[in-house]
Structure 1
């Protein structure tokens, strides 16, 4: 059994706010990311490689709020976060506040595999990226008229915001989880964060245990939504703990955390998760979540709306 699931963010996603052309573009983007990860699993590759490549695909698609499609921070820059975790070794890598990195998820993996650290920040992470010859891109690569307009609207309203405007694009974060043929799990998450974010704000995406977690004994999880709530609830690790310590199934653990615990706190969002048996859950408490999954027996779907 091998399985992969992906997400392109969650939030206020209404059918009447997306044209058929936009919906088709989002679905093609999700399909391409699924293909990128699934092809690796199908060839006997690792879950780590699969989640990295799936997320790289989403980072290189300007429709989604990560990498090329990242939203603008108040500084006028794209301050990106990412993390990755291996369920076999429990090793992890994360970066926050990086700019001009083509694929932040690959930088997070380099931190995991080529340093003694877990978490690197901003200019330090960029120095590490240069030393390890990761690809940088100029500001123009990350610029889109849509993101520029979203920043202008947020600045005029003097607020930060999730990518929830009616000019529909990807919602907040991208991620992938996978189980490979060797029974190993992995998770990866990447984001541009909030439009007009200030003071070096960092959400749950690069926080191991909050936005990303993987453990071969339980599950792999990647989250999307209002990061502050996911950090306070340690969502990704909480699901693993409910399985390990209370014996809950993946389905019950996800339902409790997303539909009960997060909702009670006022947290909006969702997650994707796969357990060591290949079961997949994609719960969310928002109006929609860009999502998809596929396994080796031909099951799967791509969906956007609730």
Structure 2
């Protein structure tokens, strides 16, 4: 019998390889989670949300199906939702206490963990694109306020007038909050933050998140959406995550990074296998077993349970290197969708609406 010098390598050799039927690409999106009431969801309203979710899903899916990158796919999906007045990002963002729209966004590439983020910008139509420009065309990760806007102008971004972002629905929410002395949670029955995560056919992961924050926010408040590790995280060794919810709690838990750290696989282990005659040998390396969908779901659910225990609510989307596209939320609903090269295609709003289809476990 050959003797395996490394006991770790011996254990790893018994693990199965990745199944061939795993999706070549995978995409998940969200448009906010919160206390959604089915009784208040009219057929027309539901159709409008589902149409924009599908439009975003289609935009990202086409890029991935054509062999494009995960980074390009998530930007395409998020731009659709930033441009829709239905979501709290870009056009349709909530108002601050002072009656302005302040936008936050972040993006991360799982290949090298490069990241970019902006917060408190008021003149950029698509903050996700500015966040990506911070990632690719600056030595920084996070820019805020006027500095971020000055950087945008220096990189050729058009200055978008304030009236572009404003919508009557969001203004009414601010007026009601002030008149009735309500909290942001009383007027924001859902957290309309948008996000996308993807795995491309080259095996790379990416994540992005964009938001207008909370109605009536003051003093330059910033939530989790633009914070790398809280609202956004991507690492090819683990997963890509985008979050939506009560940002203060997501920051305290470090939700996005916490999920990835729970499911990150160790690096491949190697050991020397000696020949039968004891002379010479060779090195063999084996990777750990691929992550199952159940384990990834359990990791996300555990972190969201931690958020709930502290008093926060919301949800996350994630995609793993195996192509599992997963949702986890502790609210009544989350505007969401997912698509994979294995044939999964769906959008949903309330809990339990997903189809029975799953990406393969290994």
Identify if the C-alpha distance between structure 1 residues 165 and 90 changes in structure 2 by more than 3 Å, giving closer, same or farther.
Answer: closer
Instruction: Provide the C-alpha distance between the structure 1 equivalents of 2:27 and 2:174, rounded to a whole number of angstroms.
Output: 33
The 5 A counterparts of 1:37-116 are 37-116=60-139
CA drift at 1:262 = 1.3
- Residue 296 of structure 2: which of 250, 269, 277 is its match? 250
Instruction: Provide the C-alpha distance between the structure 2 equivalents of 1:72 and 1:230, rounded to a whole number of angstroms.
Output: 21
CA drift at 1:164 = 4.8
Moved more, 240-249 or 75-84: 240-249
The count of aligned residue pairs is 302
Secondary structure (helix, strand or coil) at the match of 1:282 reads strand
Instruction: Provide the C-alpha distance between the structure 2 equivalents of 1:235 and 1:298, rounded to a whole number of angstroms.
Output: 29
State yes or no: 1:264 paired with 2:284: no
Instruction: Provide the C-alpha distance between the structure 2 equivalents of 1:216 and 1:162, rounded to a whole number of angstroms.
Output: 35
- Residue 152 of structure 1: which of 165, 175, 179 is its match? 175
Identify if the C-alpha distance between structure 1 residues 159 and 200 changes in structure 2 by more than 3 Å, giving closer, same or farther.
Answer: farther
CA drift at 1:300 = 2.7
Secondary structure (helix, strand or coil) at the match of 1:25 reads helix
Instruction: Provide the C-alpha distance between the structure 2 equivalents of 1:298 and 1:163, rounded to a whole number of angstroms.
Output: 39
CA drift at 1:154 = 1.1
Instruction: Provide the C-alpha distance between the structure 2 equivalents of 1:20 and 1:159, rounded to a whole number of angstroms.
Output: 29
Moved >4 Å (runs of 4+): 162-166, 245-248
Instruction: Provide the C-alpha distance between the structure 1 equivalents of 2:188 and 2:29, rounded to a whole number of angstroms.
Output: 22
- Residue 117 of structure 1: which of 128, 140, 152 is its match? 140
State yes or no: 1:140 paired with 2:160: no
State yes or no: 1:180 paired with 2:200: yes
Secondary structure (helix, strand or coil) at the match of 1:281 reads strand
Instruction: Provide the C-alpha distance between the structure 1 equivalents of 2:205 and 2:187, rounded to a whole number of angstroms.
Output: 31
Which residue of structure 1 aligns with residue 329 of structure 2? Answer: 284
Identify if the C-alpha distance between structure 1 residues 164 and 13 changes in structure 2 by more than 3 Å, giving closer, same or farther.
Answer: farther
Contact 2:118/2:142, CA 8 A, preserved across alignment = yes
Which residue of structure 2 aligns with residue 205 of structure 1? Answer: 225
CA drift at 1:69 = 1.1
Instruction: Provide the C-alpha distance between the structure 1 equivalents of 2:58 and 2:157, rounded to a whole number of angstroms.
Output: 24
The 5 A counterparts of 1:213-252 are 213-244=233-264, 249-252=295-298
Which residue of structure 2 aligns with residue 300 of structure 1? Answer: 345
Contact 2:209/2:226, CA 8 A, preserved across alignment = yes
Instruction: Provide the C-alpha distance between the structure 2 equivalents of 1:160 and 1:126, rounded to a whole number of angstroms.
Output: 29
Instruction: Provide the C-alpha distance between the structure 2 equivalents of 1:70 and 1:163, rounded to a whole number of angstroms.
Output: 17
Task: Give unmatched runs, 5+ long, in structure 2.
Answer: 1-23, 267-290, 352-362
Instruction: Provide the C-alpha distance between the structure 2 equivalents of 1:289 and 1:283, rounded to a whole number of angstroms.
Output: 9
Moved more, 293-302 or 95-104: 293-302
**TM-score normalised by the chain length of structure 2:** 0.81
Secondary structure (helix, strand or coil) at the match of 2:347 reads strand
Deviations for 1:138-159, whole angstroms, at most 9, x for unmatched residues?
A: 1221121111100101112334
CA drift at 1:294 = 0.3
State yes or no: 1:131 paired with 2:143: no
| CA RMSD after TM alignment | 1.5
Deviations for 1:93-130, whole angstroms, at most 9, x for unmatched residues?
A: 00000002100000000000000000000100000000
**TM-score normalised by the chain length of structure 1:** 0.95
Contact 2:173/2:187, CA 8 A, preserved across alignment = no
Instruction: Provide the C-alpha distance between the structure 2 equivalents of 1:200 and 1:245, rounded to a whole number of angstroms.
Output: 38
Instruction: Provide the C-alpha distance between the structure 1 equivalents of 2:334 and 2:324, rounded to a whole number of angstroms.
Output: 19
Deviations for 1:238-293, whole angstroms, at most 9, x for unmatched residues?
A: 001111279883111111111x2112111100000000000011010011000000
Contact 1:203/1:228, CA 8 A, preserved across alignment = yes
